[in-house]
Chain A
Amino acid sequence: MALLEVVDVSKIFPGVRALDSVSFTLQPGEVHALVGENGAGKSTLIKVLTGVYKPDGGELKYQDQPVQFGTPMDAQRAGISTIYQEVNLVPLMSVAQNLFLGREPRNKFGLIDRGRMDREAREVLAGYGVTTDVRRQLGTLALGAQQMVALARAVMIDAKVVIMDEPTSSLEPREVQTLFGVIRDLHAKGIGIVYVSHRLDELYEICDAVTILRDGKLVHTGKLADLERIKLVSLMLGRDMAEVRREGATAFSGAATGDEQAAPVLRVRELNSRHKLHDVSFDVRPGEVVGLGGLLGAGRSETVKAIGGAYHLDSGTIEVDGKELKKPTPVRAVHAGVAVQPEDRKAEGIVPGLSVRENIALAVLPRVSRGGFVSDAKIDEIVDKYMKRLRIKASSPDQAVGDLSGGNQQKVLLARLLATDPKVLLLDEPTRGIDVGAKAEVQSLIDELAAEGLGVVLVSSDAEELVEGSDRVVVLRDGVVVGTLTGAEVTTEDLMSTIATEAPREH
């Protein structure tokens, strides 16, 4: 008897088929890995399972009965419990209160029995390796411990299915082992677990079965042990291993433009950030495009943000053009000549309501203003220059950026970055969400900019784009540089095999 069955489920959002007839089956006591790159449909599937979204087609069967969950509460009451990537507890309440919220033990007057609640919370949490004072505010605990409290809570409510969405992203190695201990217990009790993670080592350590999604479609489901690592990665990324590398799939010229002898324009040494980055080091020379490769959550975006001063670093040094960038903040980074194009241009990049002119001018205001007054003529000059240079298609400089196509929005963002006169350009997914033609234009622009002597760092989930656009690829996994591909090694095959190599055992 299957515990939970997803049969031909589809979910359509305006313009996107987020899930396209996806099916998979969870058996009792099974730890089932759900993997796929960004936008593959994992989160949508989880939200369908937990009652956040209603599917547009197909059906859910729970213990062989067709079910429909209207709200997350319905799913929870039926015994499907979810641990979200971001902890979903109340930070200002005590650990014990969070654990028992809604199910507090009560005395004969109907009042909450605090003593018993704290005592039971202590006992339960000890089993999860959390030995803190349970009367403390939850928000003051380390993220890992908070995640353990969320786990304890999810398991306590008589769950039959536990869905874990990247549960280890904020855990220490020691805590990961505790989590795996709990998972093995649940497995022994016949509870089904859906396990979402990008860490291959974890998947192979704890999961029995695997379902791989790509672009909303099911590409593989079966026993994990039967699936080679390299095969899993190629299924996820959508590259057939045997397939010969297609030349010219992207607009990158492929010719290395970097000068081997030149001093690096960006020197990154031993960047460390708790849980996310461990001793990340690399160099970028003028005219060179260095790709950062790896799966989602490997630390690519964090590295880019950290260099741009927008991500907390515990240690490490960053040198731009030979000068150390001390205590990076976004303002200091811009002054040092670092320009960052964030991953999510809508949320962190452009201001959609402002015009093309205003968006470009934002970055250069300090340079073109004198005594607090802004010279219109100077702004016009700069705007005109970059609109031509980047071939931005807008009806006029006064058109709102929000009305432009994705590709042109991206170019406006690039224009704004270039207007600050950077020495290093950090691009995080520069072609995501833009159409094919615009993609090619952005790609050739990147080539041109590098040819002019900028140092470029490129992050892309598109393996082809990364490989063809980069002169070198630094491969990250779990925040560690696991390899660097140079020269003839810069191929999707080498990239995938580097991503898939087993991590050195540490814990």
Chain B
Amino acid sequence: MTMTNVSGPETPAIVAEDVRKAERTDRIVGTVQRQGALAVLVVVVLIALATFPNFRSFDNAATILVAAAPPMLIALGMTFVIITGGIDLSVGSLYVLGGVLAAWASQYGILAAFLLPLAVCGAIGLANGLLIAYTRMAPFIVTLAALLGARGLMRAISSEGSNTYLVQNDAFRKLGNGSFLDIGYQVWLVAALVVIGMVVLARSRFGTSIYAVGGSEDAASLMGVPVRRTKVWVYVLSGLLAGLAGAINAAKLGSGVTVLGVGMELDAIAAVVIGGTLLTGGAGTIAGTIAGVLLLGVIQNLINQVGNVNSNWQQVISGAFLALVVVAQTYLVRLRRVT
């Protein structure tokens, strides 16, 4: 019988060097993942400032922000949903439904104009969440059903979409068109909600649970995270924010326009992913989502500046960005794992 000796482990010095290198790579990759969209946004804005004289005005900046307010709210909710590893396709429909409901309810006062869309869209979000969390149906299918259902509901209450309710309440109308420090009220409202969202996500146990559920559902439940409750809540939030986005848009337009919101869920998903949130869940930031929304908004604005360019090019550019970001994300995640 022959005996062979055990080979020794690596020397600690090499291990320590490995660890330092891994930590450095991890820091750099993490920063690129978090701040990539912001960096691209800054570059695009700088180029725009240099090339388009009209882009440079304060008014234009305010216009971009006002236009970005509803998409920002929807993308905010979507960020929560995607970090849990889910998806919410119903938000475009909830947005238009919220707008129609707000316009109709405005005849009963400004409070009703907000509460009705919030209640209805929140309830649909709750239904989404309960189905996803408790029956373990795929979020894609559940929210696709809600997309169809909510749009159907909107058409039912607006005579096939032909009946456009006008906003009857002056205070509500003022909210959509008035401004504070020359920036629209809705921008301030959205900014406040975004800040609250950031604190919740980064500093509350609910926020931590969202990351844990998306990062590894099995591990999260073994560690005692209320997985199902967390899932229900993110879809409720997403529904509420979509309804609110519809309401503030109705206030701005002065009516419940019935042709809006088609494909808006996809824009929101695109903005969230461009902002560095992993579509597979577990990682992402609201700061990234802000950069993603603004980036799409600025590109849209620039296309409008050029004037004679077909606005469909905006979608071509957004699509290209998205593909680029997803490829970069995949690469970065792998880079982080290997080390």
Contact = CB atoms under 8 A, between A and B. Distances in A.
A90 B336 contact: no
A444 B194 CA distance: 71
Given A90-B282, A485-B1, A76 B215 contact: no
Interface string B185-202: 000000000000001000
A173 B224 CA distance: 31
B283 to A, nearest CB: 5
Interface in A115-136: 132-133, 136
Interface in A86-124: 88-93, 97, 101-102, 104, 106, 110-112, 114
A489 interface: yes
Residue with the greatest number of chain A CB neighbours at <10 A, chosen from B215, B216, B278, B337: B215
A279 B4 contact: yes
Contacts of B7: 272, 278-279, 480
Nearest to B26: A140
A110 B204 CA distance: 7
B228 to A, nearest CB: 12
A140 B337 contact: yes
Contacts of A101: 208, 212, 220, 223-225
A272 B4 CA distance: 14
Interface string A67-81: 000001100100000
B218 interface: yes
Contact of A102 (B9, B225, B278, B339): B225
B215 A90 contact: yes
Interface stretch (A34-42, A180-188, A498-506): A498-506
Given A136-B23, A140-B337, A111 B4 contact: no
A136 B22 CA distance: 10
Contacts of B8: 506
A92 B211 contact: yes
A502 B3 CA distance: 12
Contacts of B211: 90, 92-93, 97
B212 A90 contact: yes
B17 to A, nearest CB: 13
Interface in A161-190: 172-174
A504 B5 contact: yes
Nearest to A174: B9
A482 interface: yes
A488 to B, nearest CB: 11
Nearest to B336: A140
Interface in A470-506: 478, 480-485, 489, 494, 498, 503-504, 506
Nearest to A475: B1
A175 B3 CA distance: 26
A487 to B, nearest CB: 11
Interface in B160-177: none
A293 to B, nearest CB: 12
Nearest to A139: B337
Contacts of B208: 93, 97, 101, 104, 112
Interface in A255-296: 272, 278-279, 281
A165 to B, nearest CB: 13
A112 B205 contact: yes
A89 B215 CA distance: 9
B98 to A, nearest CB: 30
Interface string B1-24: 111111111001000000100110
Interface residues on B, range: 35 or more
B324 interface: no
A23 to B, nearest CB: 27
A444 B199 CA distance: 68
A137 interface: yes
Secondary structure class of chain A's binding surface, majority of residues = mixed
A316 B278 CA distance: 37
Interface in A38-76: 72-73, 76
A101 B12 CA distance: 31
Contacts of A484: 1-2
A114 B1 CA distance: 59
B30 interface: yes
A88 B215 CA distance: 11
A111 B225 contact: no
Nearest to B212: A90
B205 A90 contact: no
B222 interface: yes
A272 B8 CA distance: 12
B23 A132 contact: yes
A481 B339 contact: no
B222 A489 contact: no
Contacts of A90: 211-212, 215-216, 219-220, 223, 282
Contacts of B336: 137, 139-140
Contacts of B214: 92
A97 B204 CA distance: 12
B10 to A, nearest CB: 8
Contacts of B26: 136-137, 140
Contacts of A504: 5-6
Nearest to A88: B219
A190 B289 CA distance: 50
B8 to A, nearest CB: 7
A124 B205 CA distance: 21
A281 B283 CA distance: 43
Contacts of A174: 9, 12
Contacts of A97: 208, 211-212
Interface string B208-241: 1001101110111111110000000000000000
B6 A112 contact: no
A136 B20 CA distance: 12
A483 B2 CA distance: 5
Interface in B22-60: 22-23, 26, 30
A97 to B, nearest CB: 6
B219 A172 contact: no
Nearest to B203: A111
Nearest to A72: B222
A168 B205 CA distance: 32
Contacts of B212: 90, 93, 97, 101
Contacts of B283: 92
Q: Which 6 A-B pairs have the closest CB atoms?
A: A90-B215, A92-B282, A111-B203, A92-B215, A278-B7, A88-B219
Given A93-B208, A106-B205, 14 more contacts: A72-B222, A76-B224, A88-B216, A88-B219, A89-B223, A90-B219, A92-B282, A93-B215, A93-B282, A97-B208, A132-B19, A140-B336, A278-B7, A482-B3
17 contacts: A72-B222, A88-B218, A88-B219, A88-B223, A90-B223, A97-B208, A97-B211, A101-B220, A102-B224, A104-B205, A136-B26, A139-B337, A140-B336, A174-B12, A483-B1, A484-B1, A504-B5
